[in-house]
Amino acid sequence: MKKQKFEELHEESRLLSGEITSSKVEVISSIILTLGYSLSTLATILALQEEEEDAQLLASNSQDQNDQFKQMCKQLQNVNNRLDSIERKLNRF
């Protein structure tokens, strides 16, 4: 019984002792490659998100500019109407 436990412990310690086998290297390299692909995919997703946010910001800025131009146009029309009114009054005299 003690011998069997000793052999099991010895086998377990041998596996944990750091013996590098081709299968361990293959598993480790697979894990590293998977992490690399995952990080690459995450970076791509984040880049696409940033591009989308930039596009939305540009669209929002464009809309803001359009609104500002419309307001300026209305103000210029008001000024033009006032000038016309002043011109008519001046022409009366």
Is the Cα torsion angle 39, 40, 45, 50 positive or negative in sign? Answer: positive
Range of the domain at 81: 22-92
Q: What is the DSSP string of 16-41?
A: HTT---HHHHHHHHHHHHHHHHHHHH
- For the chain, the domain total comes to 1
Is the Cα torsion angle 75, 81, 86, 90 positive or negative in sign? Answer: positive
For residue 5, being part of any structural domain is answered with no
pLDDT in tens, 31-40: 999 999 999 9
**What pTM does this model have?**
0.49
For residue 6, being part of any structural domain is answered with no
Tell me what the pLDDT averaged over the chain comes to.
Answer: 84
For residue 86, being part of any structural domain is answered with yes
